[in-house]
Structures are given as structure tokens and as C-alpha cells.
Amino acid sequence: MVNRRRSRRLAAFKTVVYVVLGLFFLLPIAAMVEFATRGVGISSPRSLTAFTSIGSDPELVDAITASLELAAITSVGMLALLLPTMIWIRLRVPQMVRPVELVCLTPLTIPAIVLVVGFAPIYNWIEINVSDSILMLAFAYLILVLPYCYRALDAGLSAVDLRTLSEAARSLGASWGTVIWRIIVPNMSSAVSNACLLCVAVVLGEFTVANLLNFENLQVAISILGTGNARDSIALAVLSLVFVFFFLLVLSFLGRALSRRRGGAAKA
Amino acid sequence: MTAVPVTKAAYVRRPLGGRLRVSTAWLGAAPFLVYTGLFLFLPTVLVAVGAFSGPHGPTLANLAQLSQPYVVSAFLNSLVLSAVSASIGAVVGAVLAYTVASGSPDGILRRLVTAFCGVLSQFGGVTLAFAFIATIGTEGFIVIWLQQHGITFYPNGVWLFSLTGLTLIYTYFEIPLMVIVFMPALDGIRPQWREATETLGGGTWHYWRHVAGPLLMPAFLGAWLLLFANAFSAYATAAALLDIGGIIVPLQISRALSSEVGLDQANFAAALALGMVVIVAIITVLYARLQRRSARWLPR
Amino acid sequence: MGALDTRPIGASWGGSRSAAEVRLENLRRVYGSTIALDGLHITIQPGELVALLGPSGCGKTTALRLVAGLEDAEGGRVVIDGRDVTHLPTSRRDSGMVFQAYSLFPHMTARENVAFGLRMRKVAVAERRRRAGEMLELVGLSTQADRYAHQLSGGQQQRVALARALAIRPSVLLLDEPLSALDARVRSQLRDEIRRVQREVGITTLFVTHDQEEALAIADRVGVMRAGRLEQMGTPTSIYSQPATPFVAEFVGLTNRLAGVVTGGAVDVRGIRLPLIASDTPDGPAVALVRPEAVSLAPALEGFNGPLSGTVIAVSFLGAVSRLTVDLGDITVLVQVPTADATAHPGGSRVRIALRQDPVLITRDSSQGRP
């Protein structure tokens, strides 16, 4: 009767939405794969030369390596900077929690394109006095990932009874380092892996800052390549997409497996 | 509970009392504060200062340059681009979010779509631009396929590499962003409200007009604002797609920064950046006010 | 108590309009392979408050939702005031519903909430405000009319929900465990409130709950349900003292399970012969279901250790009555006596139990249930 008719209509509506939007979102990705596997002429057979030629281009390989290294450095740096700070202020300086949160969410208001204008003179100085390696970008990237990683870690921390666990550990004689690394972090492993995941996704997809500071990371390399060789650059783009997806999957399974093994107190 | 031996070491480890304890605690946040001070606060200050600096000291010349017609038109283009892509993204995204939210909360479809949206909203701008070139570029998959069936995709010239094309491409990451931002609000809608409306004599239209609509409006508007700010600040896609020319503000900034004419242009870039910050800051404040109202009505 | 009210509805409703009869005829509801309701058949008299009582999953809420029209039945009819409403959508059924929680519209004040149904019926603004005000006064919340849901306590929210449901003057009032989400103290206060309002307005009401104390206190008649079926329908007194099935006996109130033998229309329990509710029960071993208040205590006889002698191992002070747990060696028995009498038998004392000669229910099911 009425309710059944309504649920049937809803089901039809849902199917239409999923099909139409599914097409809209999957087509460009499919098109990329199609483009990247095209042969030289119109009737040439499909080939994977676009993919294989990537390995033989030293500039590309450098860019890929650089981006991967940056992703790793930024993740580690983010955890080393954010995690202890967030735990510390929640336990000892609660009045700083709000201000720190505000600071971490600021990069959302001050977009990369604006920040990079301020980064330019700073990076000029770094180039002269510290190093001109592309890995210096990690400093900037850490700021860019702040809002996303803060939210992920915050979700994990709120699910852990910080005060009780740390007081219990301290009363048994643990140092602060032990409390953080051996008591708290294991209980928010999925939040930590989420935050790392976000770091990797953002760093691998970052273009603005690298481009305007004249560094050649993965996305910049794709862009440069694209001006000459559309097919190869798209092949590289597909690869980077696949890699990020794959990495996302691995990291999310890892996070869930770790928290399950430890009895998952915190379902972040 | 094991007894803690009262040794000197234990004393050292105990927190010190009173004033001394507080200053030790603040030190714990120092690394973070120093870092963000250097790499977040400092660049922002440099932008603000740079906007007002000239070759001979403080000046308003950079800001005056903002009133030039090509700059004004860049700002207008940016605003229009953001408004249109945010609107399309908001509406389509809301529909998709509603579709997903009305399914089972633990279902695999929901988790898949949410994960997909999470990734898509972070989709690198360059990759995205190239994906669309591969789809509806001059030699794109769709264009060629339609050609083989006798249909011309671009009867009036290629519009992909213009503001129109950019708007279309922006919806590709705006829609998933909308889903992520708006979904929590939809989850906060309790089924009892629908049922109560029905028992009180209201049908579907009444429900949306008097109950769900008003309740979701703050969240919807807030999400729209977020989408707007996101599109406004985007750079990579435009850079990969269009010439460095500068029909939108981010492209103007990049042109000013990479120009070889020296310091002057760097300060002009700062002025442009300051303009952007002001606009985005206003939006953020409005968003925060809407968020508060929505959070009061729609519990998580 | 329990008198059916068929007089024209009172002043709050303005005008004489007699209460409606509500019939659930052979309702059947299936979810996939689960049968939620298996031919439920109930007639609610005009102005009566019927409570549906049962454990979770017994189908009571399903039955309520079928009457409201929030779900469709696979078989059977719902008849309200002589009209077959089975195929009508919820919005046209003329029913008012109070949900367990969260049903007030958060963006409207209490008054606007109450006036909502009237707005749906296109009543003019001034008239809406007046009637909403009346309803709020009926539930005692006229001072809170301009508050929002989050500014009201749980009990107040439910009263607003009640006012909202009644504002449209429906033919039937449906309550889905309205007290379950509230604190214990608020619960009993509100329970009496609901009963008072229902009586004053004289509306036919269906009340669903899993709390047997609530059902017995509030209803004219109680329907005990299990696994989609109605086990017994009757007045609270008859449900309690003349349970039709062992399930009813054990679900409603406390029961002692005492093993015995049925011979010649009565049951022998530990040397005492008790009459049976169903005197034609065939002979054989059986378990007698005896209420704690049907057991009495006396001091144990020196040196005598019969099947009725035992030791008090626990005493629960419940105010006017006390509940004692007596260990008879092979089983424990719950005894309920006025507190004044309980003081003579403190924990550890030796006692003798006696069973009152009330007709008892027996069951052949000897598996261990609750005592």
C-alpha cells in the first residue's frame, strides 16, 4: 500500500542517482586509462608503452621519488609535531586546546595560493642558507596538512580516556614518552593511520606550492610532461591515482587490523 | 598497586607545584607554536606586509592596482566561477548525500561512496584537468566516440579550455566535498520527525516545507559556503588547463609571482592574496555562525 | 478504576463528539522470513485505554505502527470509528501519536510544535494559537510555551508531544513506550499525568510498553503479547491473579516455580494441596506458579526439617513490603510480606513457609525459568 509504494519510488530514485552520477565520476577515470593506452596511430593496437616509458625518464623518476619521500617525511613530521602537542595540551594545558585547534584550522581560511606568496621570501632564504633540495617543501606541506590531520587525530583522541590512562601509567612509574608512545598511540591507531593517509593523499596531490616555488614534484612533472606528451602524462596521472587508492586501502586495513588486534578501545 | 619507593628519582619525576608547573607545561606546546609561528604566522604577515610595501616604503599603490579593470574582472570571474560550481555542487551533492544517507548506515554502498568521495575531493588538480582533457578534450574519448556516430561535440568551438570548462571540472570535486560536509546533517534528521509529521496530517511536501527544509537549511548554506571557498582558492586545475594568462585571481597571483620584473610584482601578488584572504575570511565567519545553529538542532 | 468512559468528550474538545471504537482485525505483518504479527485481533472500546505489554520483539510496537499507518500489513484490517483505514496513508487516518523520544521539532517552540497539526489542517493563526495554548494548559506547561525542545526536560518534552498529538482531536491516541526514555521518578509522575489527561479528554487510546508495572497501573485492559501473538487480554487484576498461560504468569509480576504432582483436579506441592485454575487438568508431574505474596512465613518448629522448612538467606526492603529469599534446601523461594511481619524473620533465621489456597496455574515445562 502507501508505504510500500513510497519505498519503491525511493528505490527507483536511488538507482537513477547512482547510475547517472556513477557515470559522471567514473567516465573521466576510464577515459584517462583509455587515453593512456592508445597506440600511435588511430588504428594502432593498445599498448602500455606510455606506462613503461615512465621508468626510463630520469626526470620523472626523480619527481616521483621526491614526492614519495616528501609524503613520508611530512607524515612522520606531522605525527611528531602534532601528536605529542595535542596530547600534552589536553592533559596539562587545557586552556590551549581551543587556540591550537584554531591555529590548525587556519590553513583552510588561508589557502595554499595565498600562503605561497608568503612562502616565497622564506624559501628564498632557505635556499641560500639551508638547502635547495626539494625536500625542503616538507616544511610547507606540514602546514597544509594541519587541518585534515588535526581533525583525524582529534577524533581519535576524544575516543580515548586520556586522563585516566595517563594517570594510571604515570602512577605506575612511566615517563611521559612511554605514556605517549606505548599507552595512548596504540589505542588510537586507526586515527593515526587516517591522519597519515590524509598526509600522503595531500602531498602526492599537491601542485600549487611546488609549482610556484619552482620545485618539480609529481604533479608538476605531470603538468610539464603534459604540455608536450599528453599520452604519457596521463599515464603517469593514472598511475599516481592508482597508487594513492591502493595506498589508502592498505593503510585503512592496516589501521583497522591494528586496532582490532589491540582490542580497539578507540574506534576512531 | 605497587608502592612507589620514595627516592630522589621519584621526586624529580613528580610534577613541580604552583607557578613552576604551569610554565613547564606551556613549554610542551612550544615546538608546535614555534613551527606554526615560522611557517604559518610569518608567511601570513609577509603577505599582509607585502601588500602594503613598495620600492620606497609603505604604500597603497598595490591595493590601488586592484581596481584595474583586468584585476576586477579576474575577481569577478573567480566569484562567478566559485558561485556557479558551488551551487551545482551543492544541489547535486545534496541529492547524492540524501540518496546515500537513506540507505543502511553500515551498508557497503555507503562506505564505498563515502570513501570514493573522500578521495575525489582531494583529487589533484592537474590529474583532474588531464582526466577531462582525456574525456572531452579535442581528442577525448567521448568526442571521438560521438564523432564515430556522426555527432559533433563542439559545434561552436571548444569550450573546455575556458571558464565554462573550468566550472564543469570544478563540480567534479565540489560534489564529493558536498557529500562529505552535508552528510552529517542528513544523519542528524530523526525518522521520528517524518513520522510525527505524518500522524499530524502532513504529507511529503509539508514535511520538506515545514520540517526537514528549515532544519537542513543552515547546514546546506554552510556547506555551500565551504564549497565556494574551496573553488575560490583552487589553483592547480586552472593552472593545468588554462594559459598562465590570469582570468581568475589564483592565476593572476601565479603570473605576478613568476614574473621576472622583480619585487614590484611580488608585492602586487601579496595585494591580490590579501584580497583573497579577506573574501575567504568573511565566508569562514558566516560558515561558523551557520554551523552553530545547525549543530544545535541536528544532534550527531 | 477502569470504568469505560463513553460520555461525550469534555470541554477541552469543544462540542459533543463521542469517542471512537478501534478494531485491529487479524493483523498480519511479516519482515522477510520473520512473522512479526500473526493474526492479532483486538477491539478497543470507545474511550478505553488498552496497554499492549510484552518483551521486545513481541510485535506490540508493530501493531501500534500498523494502526498509525506507518507500516503496511500483509493481511487484516484496521477499523477506526467504523471506517476501514487499512489502505489510507498515515496523514489521513486521524490518529495522534506520541513517540518514545526525539519527536519534537527542534526548530519550533513548544507552542509551534503543538499547533503544527492544526497548521496542516489549515486552521487560522489566531485559532491555532488559542487551541495550542489550551492543550499546553491541559498538560500543565502553559508557562513553557515559548521554549524550544532542547530547553525542556525529558518529561516536559513528552508532555508537549502529548499536547501536540491531542491538539488535532484525533479519534485514537497512540503511545509508543512514551516513558521508557525517562528517569524513574519522572516516569511515574508522567504516567499518572497521561492517565489523567486521557480520562479527561475521553479519547480511545493504545499504549505500548515493556514495563509490566506501568501497564497494570495505567490501563483499563492489558494485552500481553509474545512472538506476534496475544497471550491474554483482560483487566490488570485478572492478568495478574488469573494468568492464562505460564508466560503471562512469569512476565507479569514475580513467580515461584514449585515442582509438584497433579492428582484429581488439584496439585500437591511439597505436602500442600492447592486448587487449580483449570480444574480439568490431567494428572501428572507439573510445576506450580505461585506468587510471592501467596507465601507466608512462620518461625520454624524446633528440630523439624520438612519440605516446607528453610533458612532466610536474603531480605530486600522495598518500603511497605519486603521480599525474602528462603532456601528450602533443594530450591529457593521468594516470599513477599508486609515489612512489619518481615522483621520477625531476619537473615539467617529458620522459618516455615505456607501457601495460600488460591487457585494456581501449572506448567508442564520444567526447564528453569525465573523464580
Q: C354 and C367 in contact (C-beta within 8 Å)?
A: no
Output the pLDDT for position B5.
45
Confirm or reject contact between A237 and chain B (CB < 8 A): yes
Mean pLDDT of B174-178: 92
Confirm or reject contact between C164 and chain B (CB < 8 A): yes
Whether the predicted pLDDT of B297 surpasses 70:
yes
Complex ipTM value: 0.80
Nearest Cα of chain C lies from the Cα of B204 at a distance, in angstroms, of 10
Mean pLDDT of B12-26: 55
Output the pLDDT for position C194.
93
Nearest Cα of chain B lies from the Cα of C280 at a distance, in angstroms, of 49
pLDDT tens digits for range A205-255: 889 999 999 899 988 888 888 777 777 888 888 887 777 777 777 776 776
Grid cell in block for residue C187: 516516569
**Spatial CA neighbour of B285 closest among B229, B234, B235:** B229
pLDDT tens digits for range C155-189: 999 999 999 999 999 999 999 999 998 988 899 89
Nearest chain A alpha carbon to B274: A114
Whether the predicted pLDDT of C78 surpasses 60:
yes
Whether the predicted pLDDT of B231 surpasses 70:
yes
Domains held by chain A: number: 1
Supply the pTM of this predicted model: 0.81
* Assigned architecture for domain B68-297: Orthogonal Bundle (1.10)
CATH of C11-94+170-246, one of 3.40.50.2000, 3.40.50.11890, 3.40.50.300, 1.10.760.10: 3.40.50.300
Q: Which of A81, A208, A230 sits opposite B31 (nearest CB)?
A: A81
Give the helix, strand, coil percentages of chain B, each rounded to 5.
75, 0, 25
User: Count of H helices and E strands in chain B?
Assistant: 16, 2
Can you give the residue ranges of every domain in chain B? Answer: 68-297
Q: What is the DSSP letter of C279?
A: T
pLDDT tens digits for range A163-174: 888 888 888 888
Instruction: Tell me the C-alpha distance between C19 and C152, whole Å.
Output: 32
Grid cell in block for residue B184: 552529517
Output the pLDDT for position A96.
86
Binned at pLDDT 50, 70 and 90, residue B299 comes out as low
The beta strands (E) that lie in B6-149 are given as: 53-54, 57-58
Q: B139 and A42 in contact (C-beta within 8 Å)?
A: no
Nearest chain C alpha carbon to A2: C89
Q: How far is CA A261 from the centre of its chain?
A: 25
Q: Which of B195, B198, B297 sits opposite C107 (nearest CB)?
A: B297
Confirm or reject contact between A71 and chain B (CB < 8 A): no
> Edge to edge, what strands does the sheet with C49-53 contain?
C95-98, C172-176, C204-209, C49-53, C221-226, C229-234
- Chain B residues near residue C103 by CB distance under 8 angstroms: 190, 192-193, 195-196
Are the beta carbons of A113 and B284 separated by less than 8 Å? Answer: no
Whether the predicted pLDDT of B272 surpasses 60:
yes
Q: Which residues contact C122 (CB under 8 A, 6 or more apart)?
A: none
Confirm or reject contact between B207 and chain C (CB < 8 A): no
Taking residue B156's Cβ as centre, other Cβ atoms within 10 Å add up to: 6
Output the pLDDT for position C360.
83
Q: At C225, which amino acid appears?
A: M
Whether the predicted pLDDT of B274 surpasses 80:
yes
Query: What DSSP assignment string belongs to A95-117?
Result: GGHHHHHHHHHHHHHS-HHHHHH
pLDDT tens digits for range C277-300: 877 888 888 888 889 989 988 888
Domain contains A256: yes
Instruction: Tell me the C-alpha distance between B85 and B167, whole Å.
Output: 6
Instruction: For residue A104, give the CATH number of its domain.
Output: 1.10.3720.10
Grid cell in block for residue A237: 596521472
Supply the mean pLDDT for chain B: 83
Output the pLDDT for position C370.
42
Least confident of A61-65, B23-27, C122-126: B23-27
Confirm or reject contact between A82 and chain B (CB < 8 A): yes
Helix (H, G, I), strand (E, B) or coil at B224: helix
Confirm or reject contact between A5 and chain C (CB < 8 A): no
Mean pLDDT of C45-54: 95
pLDDT tens digits for range A59-83: 888 888 999 999 999 999 999 999 8
Domain that holds residue A138: 56-261
Chains that touch C (3 or more CB pairs under 8 A): A, B
Mean pLDDT of B211-222: 90
Binned at pLDDT 50, 70 and 90, residue B35 comes out as very high
- Chain C residues near residue A1 by CB distance under 8 angstroms: 72, 86-87
* Assigned architecture for domain C254-363: Beta Barrel (2.40)
